[in-house]
Amino acid sequence: MAILDDAKRQVSPASDEKRLTTEDGKTVEVNELGKNFVVAGDGTTLAVISPAAERALTRKFDIRILPILAIMYLFNSLDKSNLGNAKTAGLERTLGLKGHQYNLILSVFFVPYVLTAPFLAILGKKYGPNRVLPLMMFCFGCFTLLVTAVMNFGGLMTIRWFLGMSESAFFPLVIYYQTTFYRRGELARRLALFYAAQSIASAFSGLLAFGVFQIHSGSIADWRYLFVIEGSCTVLFSFFAYWYLPQSASVAHFLSPEEKHLAHYRMQVDSSSVVNEKFDFRESFKIFKQPTSYVILAIEICLGVPLQSVQLFLPQIVARLGYDKVKTNLYTVAPNISGAVMLLVLAFASDWTRWRFPFVALGFLFTFLGMIIYVAIDVKTQLHVAYFACFMMTWGTSAPSVLLDVWYNNNIAHEGRRVVLTSFGVPLANLMGVVSSNIFQNKDAPKYIPALATTAAFGATGLALTLLLGAWMIIDNQRRDTKAGKKIGVRDIPTEKLRDGPEAPEFRWFY
């Protein structure tokens, strides 16, 4: 039987007819009948892609891979954003922080985050995300635990520096890891399910803080218990993840040999030019010869400020509503949950329509409107409107982050280039936490009008750049079709032919 791994597709992966080359070198036409195999005219048995077989395969990935990654990212988000909760419980008073020291502690996290992310991402490509991700998780879990021992500003600054290093390439590697399991048109909703863990983490962090801050009889400050619980759980789960995660879809231990071949073939025609390709430094960094890469990085910058502002300062924004510290943390739960729901709605819609940039733009619009409404109204007299604006802020932060990453990954068939651009883009967005950390000044509390206005401006710029890039991709595809003399869709060309990206005549933008 000629298996999928041995068959070379000659025409569109979306065609009803496929011309496959058998092991003995003969070329035959094969109808995709929805079965696991057919017998060709020369009597050779050929494996074909069955919709039922693909659904069963992706269901296995959804059940066995996504929950593990989501839990890992939940702990990652908890360990990164718990300072906001701790601040409402007296962290500054306990450690004797003064002036801008709290803002500096938030800012220092992002410097090593950006500096080390590309190197750790390259290590992840070289040795496998299934090994590097759990090791990173173990490290940032340990540093979270060490926060319980800090006694002053210097100690917390040091821990935050190493925490930034250990978390730097986590999200870029997870994005790359998922591109080795799912087709381009399947990726947005899966990455959204995974990323929703961040919104759930923010909500869970509020609930956990609500419970922990009821502890008044302990031997340490109540906010320290938050780091004990979150750090311990992170370290324990990292051992399980190291043991469980497979290197890629084509070698997953829970798949049969036939399913492994199907997984490999799916990636060859609709994700990567060469599946499991070894990292080549020079070839991979050619991604920066493409002008669109710099537009993507500019959009990442515009995305980063709203994303980090909401993630780091939502408790302080909600505090303006006038509740005590316990209710303030509790009232951050609903906006974060709604943010996760909106993320899933936009991601599923994006995969269903196979459009990316309109949904990225819509997310930017939500954030912009939320910030403007919150600044423009009198919160004391329009309490419900102000709280609704908090919901809009969360709607517009998670979705653009996920869909932007999916958008440019869908347009890069070379695995090394995909890792490199992601390892620069995601940390760059997180670097904007330096901006967020320093525009939310205590002297502007509780209104934070300069900070909210600045965040809205970044959102508006991101919206404009997204619409411009999407429009350019549509026009460029039309130009390529005119030159080819026929209309070619994104799904009409297997990704194994797209190693050179836009330089390939067959290339079409996935917009």
> Measured between alpha carbons, how far is 474 from 356 in angstroms, rounded to an integer?
12
Question: Which residues 6+ apart lie within 8 Å of 388 measured at CB?
Answer: 373
Structure tokens at 41: 């005219």
Per-residue model confidence (pLDDT) at position 236: 96
* Angle in degrees, 0-180, between the axes of helices 383-410 and 187-212, rounded to the nearest 10: 140
Q: Please enumerate in sequence order all residues whose Cβ is within 8 A of that of 123, keeping only pairs 6 or more positions apart, or say none.
A: 132, 169
Q: What is the pLDDT of residue 203?
A: 66
Instruction: Please answer whether residues 201 and 84 qualify as being in contact, where contact means their C-beta atoms are separated by less than 8 angstroms.
Output: no
Q: Kindly give the residue spans of alpha helices, DSSP state H, lying in 290-446.
A: 291-319, 325-330, 333-353, 357-376, 383-410, 415-431, 433-439
pLDDT of residue 198: 65
Q: How many whole angstroms separate alpha carbon 5 and alpha carbon 170?
A: 31
Using the 8-state DSSP alphabet, how is residue 17 labeled? E
Helix (H) or strand (E) holding 13: none
Beta bridge partners of 58: none
- Give pLDDT, residue 202: 63
Q: Residue with structure tokens 């960094």? A: 285
Name which of 295, 498, 286 is nearest 412 in CA terms: 498
Nearest Cα neighbor of 143 from 168, 128, 170, 165 is 165
Can you tell me the distance from the alpha carbon of 436 to that of 106, in angstroms, rounded to the nearest whole number?
9
Query: Can you give 431-493 as a three-state secondary structure string?
Result: HCHHHHHHHCCHHHCCCCHHHHHHHHHHHHHHHHHHHHHHHHHHHHHHHHHHHHCCCCCHHHC
Distance of CA 448 to the CA centre of its chain: 28
pLDDT score at 83: 81
Give pairs for 441-446: CB < 8 Å, separation 24+.
Answer: 441/100, 441/103, 442/102, 445/316, 446/316, 446/319, 446/320
Q: Give the pLDDT of residue 482.
A: 93
Question: For position 400, what pLDDT does the model report?
Answer: 86
CA distance 184 to 356: 11
Q: Tell me, what's the pLDDT at 37?
A: 44
Print pLDDT tens along the chain (511 aa).
333 433 333 333 333 334 444 333 444 343 333 334 433 344 443 445 678 888 999 999 999 999 899 889 888 877 776 787 788 778 888 888 888 888 888 888 888 988 899 999 999 999 999 999 999 999 999 999 999 899 999 999 999 999 999 998 998 999 999 999 999 989 999 888 877 766 666 667 777 777 777 776 667 777 888 888 889 999 999 999 999 999 888 889 899 888 888 888 888 888 888 888 889 999 999 999 999 999 999 999 999 999 888 887 888 888 888 777 677 777 888 888 888 889 899 999 999 999 999 999 999 999 999 999 988 888 878 888 988 999 999 988 878 888 999 999 999 999 999 999 999 999 999 888 888 888 888 787 778 888 899 999 999 999 999 999 999 999 999 999 999 898 988 888 888 889 899 999 999 999 9
